[in-house]
Structure 1
Amino acid sequence: MSSIPSLLRDRIAATPDAEAYRVPSDDGWTSLSWREVGDRVRGLALGLAQLGSGPGTRVSILCSTRLEWILCDLAVLATGAATTTIYPSNTAAESAFIINDSGSTIVVAENDDQVAKLRSVQKELPDVTHVIVIDGAAGDDGWVIPLASVAASEGDYDAMVDAIAQDSLATLIYTSGTTGRPKGVELTHDNWLYTAEAVREVGLISPSDLHFLWLPLSHSFGKLLEVVMIGQGVPTAIDGRLDKIAENLGVLRPTVMAAAPRIFEKIHNTVVANMRNDGGLKLRIFEWARRTGIRVSRARQRGVPVPVTTRAEYALADRLVFAKLRERFGGRIRFFISGAAPLSQDIAEFFDAAGLTILEGYGLTESSAGTFLNRPESVRFGTVGLPFPGTEVRIAEDGEILIKGRGIMRGYHGLPEETAEALEDGWLRTGDIGEVDEAGRLRITDRKKELIKTSGGKYVAPTYLEGRIKAACPYVSHVFVHGDRRNYVTCLVTLDMEVVKPWAEAESLPLDPEELREHPRVRAEVEKAIEQVNAGEASYATVKKFAILASDFTVETGELTPSLKIKRRAVEERHGGVLDAFYS
């Protein structure tokens, strides 16, 4: 097995009639077997080869998470070419940069809207010979062709697959660019095969699971899941529509789902806010159940027996509260996986108390996304778990995490100096600060470049504080902690209007975001959360002042990356006046 297409071919040979993917349809959900997937990939690959896809070429995919994304990706790879991923939320200029920088000659676009985006910069894409549209019309000039017309039957598919070397380029993923211009990360077939092998060795999942995939496949986390599920033969239900997640969970009843921390924060805050709105006996029962569940969770983490009385209390708490929460997710979840950003320990313990354990992991695009993961039998919240088999870790003198192994990227596309800076003797400089505990689990303390150094010379970890404040107040959507080279720490807060609105209506508060953010009741709720977090911090790390913004951070406004991480520089630039006013 030397490539992702050969991995797929082995999967088809082993379990041809087993379910591979499940997709939304007019009648609910439709399944495809591995044999059917193989047939579609074969036809697309032969068609793409006729259009010029092959060894040394790149094909960009500009599309949301759906079955066709995976089929096109696998077909591109089968020709010997590499896939370049583009988020559907990227602007025309951003898309043009990635297409040109990667050297892509073919682009797969999801629909007419994405085609229009490309048409607006067509003159800036001289090397693009074809745009293949999944849901859309062909163009009069032949530049745009429908996906349905691409499949072909002539050609030697197996010969193409056999010719792919293990170290051939498979994927170009451009970093989110929280601090600067995106860089194309070169990931080989072997990088991805390593992740599939590592997950199999850990023994997390099996073909009896049902995996629900909605994460962006343009992100390394989504791509990792694609390859892992092929390797393990795990059926995957695919629907990238965020507004359908809750509904799909109830219908599909999956056993495994991965998500970014923002999703878990949203669920937690909605549940807590609803209980607060109900008040009275319901709220008291909920708070008691939560405290009881967290006692049990912490005992499990320490590996100590749970007292008989606590077990009895937990059984009652489970019946009254937690079982209902699990049912919201279909009632079959074995575990969630969290990645792409730090997960608050408070939120992780809440989910674990409810019998919905979140296995937090860690990796970078530069390490093929999967590098560390908590194991179900040895979860320790606040850590990202043990390294995958075959991955080495060490901590540099300044606390930076260094990792080495088969999952590490080949380099940055066309950037030899940046590659040399990131890689030294095979060790990847992650840019994150952390420590390894006595059991070998990694704890991330913060981004090296994002650590705040106050004017008094004290270092503060902003993402740690941000996560704790979000967990302490259910009405908060995002928190941005500020204070680099300032004499104290401050923060910006945004409200989750979907969660705030029912409470505001019940309390006869204004619903206009501008009025609501200044209301004393709202400020009191946020202030209470900040004071709760401050109580456990050293004086120099406490938030002294805060402001509530009228609108949330979004990908569209440029304040969040597509993986929902805060673009710190963009927030500082956009809200510089508010931040400066804290210190005037």
Structure 2
Amino acid sequence: MREFTVPALATEPQTGGLADTVFDRADADPRQVVMARKDASGAWRDVTAAEFRDQVLALAKGLLAEGVRFGDRVAIMSRTRYEWTLFDFALWSVGAQPVPVYPTSSAEQVHWMLHDAEVSAAVVEHEEHAMTVGSVVDRLPRLKRLWQLDADAEGALAAAGAHIHDDVVHRHRLALTPDTPATVLYTSGTTGRPKGCVLTHGNFMAECDNLVRRYEALFPSGGGGQASTLLFLPLAHVFGRMIEVGAVRAGVRLGHQPNMTAAALLPDLETFRPTFLLAVPYIFERIFHTARRRAEAEGRLEPFDKAVDVAVRYAEAMEDRAFGTGRGPSPALRMQHRFFDKAVYSRLRAALGGRCRYAVSGGSAMERRLGLFYDGAGIRVFEGYGLTETTAAATANPPEQTRFGTVGVPVPGTTVHIAEDGEVWLRGGQVFAGYLGDARATAEVLHNGWLATGDLGSLDEDGYLTITGRKKDVLVTSGGKTVSPTVLEDRVRAHPLVAQCVVVGNDRPYVAALVTLDEDAVHHWLTMRNKPLLGPAELVRDPDLEAEVRRAVVAANTQVSQAESIRTFRILGSRFTEEDGLLTPSLKLRRKAVEKAYAVEIDALYQR
């Protein structure tokens, strides 16, 4: 199949902007809980629709008092926290455009984005961020204001705007239309300098409203209780931003968690008790591998692995039944599944708060077997696909017919087209307006309403999309063999000891790989085998560890032809990080930077 369309479910608004929902919801039901915010003691305190509206209004008046005007761009540099959402809706209330900046951005990255977007003001989380902005402020002549969240920017602005009448904010808000730019979101910059994607209020409306209508399981509109989610994805990324907007528009109780480490996240999941989660595959992988290591440490590895196998087979049988190709789990399999549900799966669900039954995964590919395991364990993970340029999801697996290992069908109102060269093209109301101040780059990807994504993929007979790689990442060996590295890298990374994998081989005689290790997994692996805790130099030469990684490579090679397979690999002593310029803030690999940094190691792979 070359093209597949799913009709829109939501009516396209002709007037208004994103902030209207805050005021409309408060007018309709002022006592409805819309947020949860941690108090000084660390306990979650519910925020009603009326309270949130009043906070947004007070902050909006303060922004006007401090000189922010309709159409101005204001940078936000912070981790994910309640105040970010508050500032977003306050800025939208006065017609301004937030410009998200990753909190880990360097001074030069901050300078580029703030200069390119011509921001007039900035919101930072703490003093270190303020110093980062301050180090480049002399090269930002348009920047006039700087507020710091940890220095009570919210309270100071509310006080500054106390004399302004509410109607002044409403006049600004009512001047917005769906075509008005809502934000400038910068791409991850895997292949060069980040580009500013201009996303309109209408882009977010088309994206979020269609998803909410389609995914009743996540956003129940009946009497099944209020949906809730704990947002820990970075709000500087389009995925987190879409969830923020979607939660407000759908009436979901939204909490914020700035720290994605297990030590911080798991206790908050237990107390917040979300009904659904949104994460990248890395998070789901970490949860699974942590549970498996714990089982091994407790001497329960064999029953745990058996439980995993039962969950996968059970989910596969349910998948077959959903697509009419099977009768579902056998009585024996159902009995095994019921036993392990009490012994194993319930513990996993309890770690996520006990109420979570659904999750959404995006940002990169999730291994099919991992998705099946979670489904068999009672948590259905909807894998999807999208870009910053599509306001997040363009495709997603439907609740009633999830096809694991794919990124699903087009979300309502979207068309997916596969070009002659295999490139995925997209069209829909969520497709962006263009790159800020870069007509040439815009013309390269937008063609009569179609977005050329740069990703390669295929559609099956039911319209499910599978992403096979990036056009720019495709390798061509010296023998002329074309290789998409993504399939190999994802399969190698599925091994619990492997953190990252980069496949190389462009203009080389064969394909090879660089592999980094997961420190926690390796520590556990050494402990369970009574091995000394080796340093990086000794560790990468350990023959048993090399044999484990080789198993991962062999497993990956079963997915491709012999000519495309990894012939040799090198285990590196340290991981690729954002700090050394080898990862983007959204944890995507900067391939050219990796190849340059490890040129000696790569050359050595071809001198054997």
Q: Residues 484-513 of structure 1, C-alpha deviation per residue, up to 9 Å, x if partnerless?
A: 222211111111112221221332233423
User: Percentage identity across aligned positions?
Assistant: 37
User: How far apart are the structure 1 equivalents of 2:556 and 2:169?
Assistant: 59
1:271 paired residue number: 291
User: Given that residues 346 and 468 in structure 1 are in contact (C-alpha distance below 8 angstroms), is that contact kept between their aligned partners in structure 2?
Assistant: no
1:288 paired residue number: 306
User: How far apart are the structure 1 equivalents of 2:29 and 2:507?
Assistant: 59
Q: Residues 198-246 of structure 1, C-alpha deviation per residue, up to 9 Å, x if partnerless?
A: 0222023136111110110011101100111111100011111122112
1:133 paired residue number: 148
User: How far apart are the structure 1 equivalents of 2:155 and 2:437?
Assistant: 30
1:141 paired residue number: none
Matches for 1:198-213 after TM superposition, within 5 Å: 198-202=210-214, 203=216, 204-206=218-220, 208-213=226-231
SS at match of 2:500: strand
User: How far apart are the structure 2 equivalents of 1:574 and 1:145?
Assistant: 46
Matches for 1:178-327 after TM superposition, within 5 Å: 178-202=190-214, 203=216, 204-206=218-220, 208-243=226-261, 244-279=264-299, 282-303=300-321, 304=326, 305-327=328-350
Please point out which of 169, 188, 195 is paired with 2:181.
Answer: 169
Q: Residues 50-97 of structure 1, C-alpha deviation per residue, up to 9 Å, x if partnerless?
A: 222222211111111101111111111111111111001001111011
User: Structure 2: where are the runs of 5+ without partners?
Assistant: 1-14
2:496 paired residue number: 474
User: Structure 1: where are the runs of 5+ without partners?
Assistant: 139-143
Please point out which of 478, 500, 517 is paired with 1:495.
Answer: 517
Q: CA deviation at 1:483?
A: 1.5
User: Given that residues 23 and 239 in structure 1 are in contact (C-alpha distance below 8 angstroms), is that contact kept between their aligned partners in structure 2?
Assistant: no
2:375 paired residue number: 352
Between 541-550 and 204-213, report the one with greater CA deviation.
204-213
User: Given that residues 359 and 379 in structure 1 are in contact (C-alpha distance below 8 angstroms), is that contact kept between their aligned partners in structure 2?
Assistant: yes
SS at match of 2:584: coil
Matches for 1:541-556 after TM superposition, within 5 Å: 541-556=564-579
Q: CA deviation at 1:571?
A: 1.2
SS at match of 1:171: strand
User: How far apart are the structure 2 equivalents of 1:284 and 1:78?
Assistant: 56
Q: CA deviation at 1:439?
A: 1.6
Would the alpha carbon gap of residues 103 and 542 (structure 1) be closer, same or farther in structure 2, given more than 3 Å must change?
Answer: same
What amino acid does structure 2 have at the position aligned with 1:249?
Answer: L
User: Given that residues 360 and 383 in structure 2 are in contact (C-alpha distance below 8 angstroms), is that contact kept between their aligned partners in structure 1?
Assistant: yes
User: How far apart are the structure 2 equivalents of 1:75 and 1:392?
Assistant: 33
Would the alpha carbon gap of residues 467 and 168 (structure 1) be closer, same or farther in structure 2, given more than 3 Å must change?
Answer: same
User: Given that residues 174 and 185 in structure 1 are in contact (C-alpha distance below 8 angstroms), is that contact kept between their aligned partners in structure 2?
Assistant: yes
Q: CA deviation at 1:12?
A: 2.0
What amino acid does structure 2 have at the position aligned with 1:261?
Answer: P
Q: CA deviation at 1:137?
A: 8.4
SS at match of 1:131: strand
Q: Residues 425-454 of structure 1, C-alpha deviation per residue, up to 9 Å, x if partnerless?
A: 000001111111122111111111112222
Q: Residues 449-474 of structure 1, C-alpha deviation per residue, up to 9 Å, x if partnerless?
A: 11222222222221221111121x21
User: How far apart are the structure 2 equivalents of 1:104 and 1:225?
Assistant: 24
Matches for 1:417-566 after TM superposition, within 5 Å: 417-471=440-494, 473-506=495-528, 507-566=530-589
Q: CA deviation at 1:11?
A: 2.2
SS at match of 1:182: coil
User: How far apart are the structure 2 equivalents of 1:301 and 1:311?
Assistant: 14
User: Given that residues 65 and 161 in structure 2 are in contact (C-alpha distance below 8 angstroms), is that contact kept between their aligned partners in structure 1?
Assistant: no
Aligned residues: CA RMSD = 1.8
SS at match of 1:257: strand
Would the alpha carbon gap of residues 41 and 378 (structure 1) be closer, same or farther in structure 2, given more than 3 Å must change?
Answer: same
Please point out which of 56, 60, 63 is paired with 2:71.
Answer: 56
Would the alpha carbon gap of residues 151 and 66 (structure 1) be closer, same or farther in structure 2, given more than 3 Å must change?
Answer: farther
Q: CA deviation at 1:515?
A: 2.0
Please point out which of 160, 171, 183 is paired with 2:172.
Answer: 160
2:8 paired residue number: none
2:131 paired residue number: 116
Q: CA deviation at 1:146?
A: 5.3
User: How far apart are the structure 2 equivalents of 1:54 and 1:133?
Assistant: 20
Q: Residues 364-384 of structure 1, C-alpha deviation per residue, up to 9 Å, x if partnerless?
A: 100111211112211111111
User: Given that residues 82 and 255 in structure 2 are in contact (C-alpha distance below 8 angstroms), is that contact kept between their aligned partners in structure 1?
Assistant: no
User: How far apart are the structure 2 equivalents of 1:422 and 1:474?
Assistant: 37
SS at match of 1:127: coil
TM (norm. structure 2) is 0.91
User: How far apart are the structure 2 equivalents of 1:151 and 1:65?
Assistant: 25
Structure number with higher relative contact order (C-alpha < 8 Å, ≥ 6 residues apart): 2
User: Given that residues 259 and 336 in structure 1 are in contact (C-alpha distance below 8 angstroms), is that contact kept between their aligned partners in structure 2?
Assistant: yes
What amino acid does structure 2 have at the position aligned with 1:247?
Answer: P
Would the alpha carbon gap of residues 447 and 408 (structure 1) be closer, same or farther in structure 2, given more than 3 Å must change?
Answer: same
1:78 paired residue number: 93
Would the alpha carbon gap of residues 580 and 324 (structure 1) be closer, same or farther in structure 2, given more than 3 Å must change?
Answer: same
Would the alpha carbon gap of residues 97 and 149 (structure 1) be closer, same or farther in structure 2, given more than 3 Å must change?
Answer: farther
User: How far apart are the structure 1 equivalents of 2:554 and 2:573?
Assistant: 22
Q: Residues 514-533 of structure 1, C-alpha deviation per residue, up to 9 Å, x if partnerless?
A: 32222112111111221222
User: Given that residues 133 and 147 in structure 1 are in contact (C-alpha distance below 8 angstroms), is that contact kept between their aligned partners in structure 2?
Assistant: no
SS at match of 2:356: coil
What amino acid does structure 2 have at the position aligned with 1:154?
Answer: I
What amino acid does structure 1 have at the position aligned with 2:61?
Answer: L
What amino acid does structure 2 have at the position aligned with 1:188?
Answer: T
SS at match of 1:530: helix
User: How far apart are the structure 2 equivalents of 1:536 and 1:97?
Assistant: 41
User: How far apart are the structure 1 equivalents of 2:405 and 2:63?
Assistant: 46
Between 321-330 and 400-409, report the one with greater CA deviation.
321-330
User: How far apart are the structure 2 equivalents of 1:485 and 1:278?
Assistant: 48
Would the alpha carbon gap of residues 389 and 580 (structure 1) be closer, same or farther in structure 2, given more than 3 Å must change?
Answer: same
User: How far apart are the structure 1 equivalents of 2:594 and 2:335?
Assistant: 48
Q: Does 1:369 align with 2:392?
A: yes
SS at match of 2:366: coil
Please point out which of 120, 126, 134 is paired with 1:105.
Answer: 120
User: How far apart are the structure 1 equivalents of 2:138 and 2:156?
Assistant: 21
User: How far apart are the structure 2 equivalents of 1:220 and 1:64?
Assistant: 14
SS at match of 2:51: helix
User: How far apart are the structure 2 equivalents of 1:362 and 1:476?
Assistant: 24
SS at match of 1:440: coil
SS at match of 2:473: coil
What amino acid does structure 1 have at the position aligned with 2:571?
Answer: I
User: Given that residues 97 and 181 in structure 2 are in contact (C-alpha distance below 8 angstroms), is that contact kept between their aligned partners in structure 1?
Assistant: yes
SS at match of 2:472: coil
What amino acid does structure 1 have at the position aligned with 2:241?
Answer: K
Q: CA deviation at 1:149?
A: 4.9
User: How far apart are the structure 2 equivalents of 1:509 and 1:277?
Assistant: 17
Would the alpha carbon gap of residues 272 and 415 (structure 1) be closer, same or farther in structure 2, given more than 3 Å must change?
Answer: same
User: How far apart are the structure 1 equivalents of 2:297 and 2:513?
Assistant: 27
Q: Which runs of 4+ in 1 moved over 6 A?
A: none
What amino acid does structure 1 have at the position aligned with 2:109?
Answer: E
2:19 paired residue number: 5
